[in-house]
Amino acid sequence: MTESTTIRWEQDADGVVTLTLDDPGQSANTMNAAFRDSLDAIVDRLEAERDSVRGVIVTSAKKTFFAGGDLRDLIRATPETAGDVYAGSLRMKRSLRRLETLGKPVVAAINGAALGGGYEIALACHHRVALDAPGSRIGLPEVTLGLLPGGGGVVRTVRLLGITDALLKVLLQGTQYNPKRALEAGLVHEVAATREEMLAAARAFVDAHPEARQPWDEDGYRIPGGTPAHPKFAANLPAFPANLKKQLNGAPYPAPRNILAAAVEGSQVDFDNAQVIEARYFTELACGRTSKNMIQAFFFDLQAVNSGASRPNGVEPHTVRKVAVLGAGMMGAGIAYSCARAGIEVVLKDVTAEAAERGKAYSAGLLDKAVAKGRTTPAQRDETLARITPTAEAGDLAGCDAVIEAVFENPELKHKVFQEIQDVVGPDALLCSNTSTLPITLLAEGVARPEDFIGLHFFSPVDKMPLVEIIKGERTGDVALARAFDLVRQIRKTPVVVNDNRGFFTSRVIGQFINEGVAMVGEGADPVSVEQAAAQAGYPAKVLSLMDELTLTLPRKIRNETRRAVEEAGGTWTSHPAEAVIDRMVDEFDRPGRSGGAGFYDYEDGRRTRLWPGLREHFAKPDGEVSIPFEDMQERMLFAEALDSVRCLEEGVLTSVADANIGSILGIGFPAWTGGVLQYINGYEGGPQGFVARARELQATYGDRFTPPGLLLEKAERGEPFRDGA
């Protein structure tokens, strides 16, 4: 029997064994090699001392119950190591199976988050009591990393909840529940208010069920709701793949498909065979490209970004107590809400008291919805609303230690509002602008303290969008940058840091995506195929519909201004083929986009009805429709964005690969399966070299905008991926 190193064994006088998960030297327990060894050793001991064991309580000494699979291990899995991955999954399943068939009651006392592997351990227990700890989450979010739960999570949730609920409530969306909602969803049996209560409840279960078994090990057990072999279930089953397809829009996400297959196939065989099926589908995902990309982005890159890799060192952490939000329109109202939600006092200023009140009413609306959905309590709503003070008086901004300006996009107006308030707010208040297009360096010229001036680019709708792009102007100081970073973290959003530039990083790069889609229409491509290509590449919004939302006139205005600036500086402007299409749409056909009632689509009462039939008529080539290979359509959009991101890195607009990847996925909808704009290049078949070869093909066929930039060529030559610190 090997010694357990990460699970502590304590047995009381009544024979109840408490197993405490406690990986030494780690802040959280993960499913690493040491844990697998420990689990085996513990189960060996339980079996050997079975007669003196009355029951088992599994809990943890960490803040979280168990953090899940070790992603450092998983990201190294390749098709060559598939055998080890498969064996590891089976081994884990075997240990948990032995635990649940011990013949003694086993209770999970879930003292904090139990996600992924953590919840799989709990599922192998006969009873689950969750402590109602703040921030505690329960669920199987593997799908969000391109994986499926490979420790019996599919097999057991299907048997616990039935196939439909297991798929929809747990597996396909990766929903993370707080303890109370986990109880409602049937994921846990009890919720306890204190640690003592939790342990007492666990103990009570042990006392009351000396021979506890899992429902699926009882005689005559049937999967709730039936299996696909059951006539009632069969009637619903065909809807699943179709819905899934619709949801995924044909984008290349293998995890949901494998989850569906593992659930349905596994439901038709016995428990042990279902485990084998799950292990096979898990291994395929774990060794594939998509999970690696998604783990890189949503774990490693996101962690680097949020932990402050782009925050200047040596500046004391700063907490904002009172913020001034200037402009209570769509963005200002959303920013005020996010700040108030995070506990910051907000003074929301607009030109009239009524406009400011309307901005506050927006928060009331969101909070009422949150109360109705049980996400917040009426008392929390009232407290949050009480933090927002609407006003039309600059004098009310006294004492604010940060300002976020969100008035109309007009440089003179922005200068004027900062002039009005800069002597009223605190003497070292951080000065931020939420401009989406104006250079930060230029706006900073209008304030007395340009070193404290910075761009904070929020995305709409602010309450839902997790990203904020921080833009450093030429004169922005390190203290302002660090404070802006801290403020974004304080309101629980993810900050990426970029240097000032037209369109910053996000708007500049998304512009490439849109231009490429529009250019294809100009080449006479079928517009339906263009939309479909964007959807199947994994973009959340179709390209022409997105153009309509933004309006065709706005990018045109920005383009003309940029062109003027480039030419005034003695440079030459290279036109993009999309420009001529946009000009014709606006000037010749008067179709400026959705807000103007007509664009690439037709609209009725503001609702999109169909693609404008005139597109075919006016842009088709005289010799008929041009057929661009579908793969080219998709790759033109993806490559246009990835290539421009490399240029951003080359020009110093971006200084971090992680910021580029995270900014592109969270801010502008670059498909998540790629792991972000630069990870897309790393993961492309053949790596950066393969990417360069394909860019050259696109360049030869579609134009010089696909020319690989020097930095990419260097990476390809050295066979080096885009990585921070590399």
- Is 220 exposed, middle or buried, given 0-12, 13-18 or 19+ CB atoms closer than 10 A? exposed
Residue 457 appears among annotated catalytic residues = yes
Q: 543-550 vs 527-537: helix axis angle to the nearest 10?
A: 100
- Cα gap 444→538, rounded to integer Å: 38
The three-class DSSP label of residue 84 is helix
Minimum distance, C-beta of residue 459 to ligand NAI, in the bound complex (Å): 6
Minimum distance, C-beta of residue 398 to ligand NAI, in the bound complex (Å): 16
Strands in 459-553 per DSSP E: 467-472, 494-499
Q: Tell me whether residue 239 or residue 413 sits nearer to ligand NAI (CB atom).
A: 413
- Cα gap 105→55, rounded to integer Å: 5
- Cα gap 166→153, rounded to integer Å: 10
Minimum distance, C-beta of residue 390 to ligand NAI, in the bound complex (Å): 11
Q: Tell me whether residue 315 or residue 550 sits nearer to ligand NAI (CB atom).
A: 550
Minimum distance, C-beta of residue 554 to ligand NAI, in the bound complex (Å): 9
CA angle in degrees (0–180, nearest 5) for 338-341-346: 75
Amino acid at 535: A
Minimum distance, C-beta of residue 238 to ligand NAI, in the bound complex (Å): 40
Q: Tell me whether residue 188 or residue 543 sits nearer to ligand NAI (CB atom).
A: 543
Q: Tell me whether residue 460 or residue 574 sits nearer to ligand NAI (CB atom).
A: 460
Minimum distance, C-beta of residue 359 to ligand NAI, in the bound complex (Å): 7
DSSP 511-579: HHHHHHHHHHHHTT--HHHHHHHHHHHT-SS-HHHHHHHH-SHHHHHHHHHHHHHHHHTT--PPPPHHH
Amino acid at 325: V
The tokens of 433 are what? 């602008």
Q: Tell me whether residue 187 or residue 558 sits nearer to ligand NAI (CB atom).
A: 558
Q: Tell me whether residue 457 or residue 705 sits nearer to ligand NAI (CB atom).
A: 457
Question: If we measure between CA atoms, which residue out of 534, 517, 521, 702 comes closest to residue 617?
Answer: 521
The three-class DSSP label of residue 523 is coil
Look-up of token digits 């940029």: 562
Minimum distance, C-beta of residue 349 to ligand NAI, in the bound complex (Å): 5
Q: What is the DSSP letter of 322?
A: E
Q: Tell me whether residue 436 or residue 501 sits nearer to ligand NAI (CB atom).
A: 436
Q: Which parts of this chain interact with ligand NAI (CB under 6 A)?
A: 326-332, 349-351, 355, 406-409, 413, 417, 434-436, 457-458, 460
- Cα gap 574→238, rounded to integer Å: 51
Q: H/E element holding 16?
A: strand 16-21
- Cα gap 523→536, rounded to integer Å: 20
Residue 317, Cα to own-chain centre: how many angstroms? Answer: 26
Minimum distance, C-beta of residue 534 to ligand NAI, in the bound complex (Å): 20
Give just the sign of the alpha carbon dihedral 389, 394, 397, 403: positive
Question: If we measure between CA atoms, which residue out of 702, 318, 641, 610 comes closest to residue 481?
Answer: 318
Task: Please tell me which residue in 126, 127, 457, 576 is annotated as part of the active site.
Answer: 457
CA-based R_g, the chain, Å: 28
- Cα gap 558→28, rounded to integer Å: 48
Give residue number: closest CB to ligand NAI: 329
CA dihedral 557, 562, 568, 571 (to 10 degrees): -140
Q: Tell me whether residue 530 or residue 668 sits nearer to ligand NAI (CB atom).
A: 668
Catalytically annotated residues: 457
